[in-house]
Amino acid sequence: MQAVPSEFLDIDRKARANKPFFDLDLRPPEVRTCDFDDVVINFDPERAMLEAARCIHCPDPAPCMVACPTSNDIPSAMWLIEQGKFVEAANIYHQTSSLPEICGRVCPHEALCQGSCVLNKHHQPVLTGQLETFAVDHERRTAGYVIPLGTPTGKRVAVIGAGPAGLGCADLLVQKGYEVTIFESKPAPGGLLVYGIPNFKLPKDVWIEKWEEFERAGVKFVPNTYIGKDKTIDGLFAEGFEAVFIGVGSEIDAKMEDAPGTDLPGVYEATDFLIRGNVEKNLLPENMKEPLKVGNRVVVIGGGDTASDCLRTALRLGSEEVTCLYRRTEKEMPGGKKDRKMAREEGAKYRFLTQPVKFIAGEDGQLAAVECIEMRLGEPDAKGRRRPVPLEGSNFSIACDTAILALGYWPDPILGKTTPDLEVHDWGLISVRNKATGATSRQGVFSGGDCVTGPDLVVTAMVGGRNAALAIDEYLRNKK
């Protein structure tokens, strides 16, 4: 339901559709690769109002709302921004999203809200993601935001994982009056928001201010606590928590088990590389404090957004030749087009239908080259993507001194191994009885986000956490 019903707006939709549009304003590539600052230049109020006025206000439910995993009331927010009511627009986003200042920056808008905008048929879509960022940033600078707290219930809930899913769950739980404690294996809260997404896509000061909102709402944070090793879920119940939410994400890097040499110095897993290349020293886990050594010639293996993040991070660390190797064609790449476009602008190169098969050491024992084989596309696999098939006799080598494996992620299987009656599947994914609630096979234990679905979006993980919070509330209210 739209707060500002589109059908009652007296507007000239044809005129709006033909208004001049703005391209996303970016810092020049030769400037932005010299630092880790935000690449995107945010709207000023005048420009935000002009861009919002391009919205033609489709009937409820508008396509952009349907495409948004949180069902944000985007048309109403556009109308309020157009009127200069920026704080009111920000509050529209808070009603359905726990992380609007994050999602406005990192969501693949071209595949979600902007991708569904009807203006795509003949014009450029409204830059809804950039406008979400503008509205919430404006609110943060001027009025501030306070999470509304519910009447205390006296009941305690443990949240495992301080990433998007855990935060989405904690947000709604404190609004329902629960005492929430988040346990995190790393030194700082945020999950992939801190230990994954580079600063040039998500500035850390934005996250720090967001976390302060949670602290002011009374959310407790216990760092450096690995549930499954330092504590167990059974132990949390014994401490007096009446429900547990698992939102640990998928942080275990996929391996290249068939390729010799992945243990050579100079070969990094994507998580290790991104954390050590982007995170401040005081926030680094103990096992990642050794300085990162990145050479001039870097190859990144993989085709997702993580691969793009690695390419762009390597360029900012001073590497001269940075190349992405992908075993299919660009059409099959799962990562966003926007990130690839930015990577290319910054100097990254792509080599398709190429599969590394061996990592080769030089005389000093360090990585010196990657042996590859050319591929062709065969029949579709179970997901509909054409299988890559090696071309016999096409082996060749690429000289490099750093290789980064960005092959995808799996969840840590430890919770399934240390929690009686908790069902898991596919190398550690948490099994849920009901996807809408996140209820697991263990009474009182709920789960959501990437540890249930596998690697997905920040916004979908957050929604999983929010949905589970509503289910936890119902469970505890009905518990005898």
Residue with tokens 């960005």: 406
Structure tokens given for 72: 């944000």
Q: How far apart are CA 260 and CA 358, in angstroms?
A: 5
Same domain for 223 and 360? no
pLDDT for 196 equals 95
Question: Of 409, 430, 453, which closes a domain?
Answer: 409
Number of domains composing the chain: 3
* Identity of the residue numbered 458: V
pLDDT for 291 equals 87
Q: Which residues, in sequence order, are CB contacts of 238 under 8 Å at separation 6+?
A: none
Q: How far apart are CA 150 and CA 441, in angstroms?
A: 29
Same domain for 258 and 344? yes
Same domain for 354 and 269? yes
pLDDT tens-digit map of 41-73: 999 999 999 999 999 999 888 999 999 999 999
DSSP strand pairing (243-246 vs 252-253): unpaired
CA distances to 152, 171, 177 from 215, rounded to whole Å, are 16, 11, 15
Structure tokens given for 153: 């219930």
CA angle 193, 199, 71 (to 5 degrees): 45
- Residue 1 falls within a domain, yes or no? no
- Residue 362 falls within a domain, yes or no? yes
CATH number of domain containing 95: 1.10.1060.10
Residue 246, beta-bridge partner list: 160, 447
Q: Number of helices (H) and strands (E) in the chain: give both, helices first.
A: 18, 20
Task: Map residue 210 onto helix, strand or coil.
Answer: helix
Residue 300, beta-bridge partner list: 324, 404
Question: Of 388, 409, 430, which closes a domain?
Answer: 409
Q: State pTM to two decimals.
A: 0.95
Residue with tokens 């760092």: 223
Structure tokens given for 257: 């088990």
DSSP, res 429: E
- C-alpha 330 chain-centroid distance: 21
pLDDT tens-digit map of 172-181: 999 999 999 9
Same domain for 201 and 272? no
Question: Of 142, 164, 195, which closes a domain?
Answer: 142
Question: Which residues of the chain fall short of a pLDDT of 70?
Answer: none
Residue with tokens 């690429």: 398
Q: How far apart are CA 309 and CA 327, in angstroms?
A: 18
Transcribe 275-319 into DSSP letters: HHHHS-GGGS-GGG-SPP---SEEEEE--SHHHHHHHHHHHHTT-
* Domain extent for 101: 6-142
Same domain for 258 and 386? yes
Is 43 exposed, middle or buried, given 0-12, 13-18 or 19+ CB atoms closer than 10 A? buried
Q: For 335, how many CA atoms within 13 A lie in the half-sphere containing its CB?
A: 25
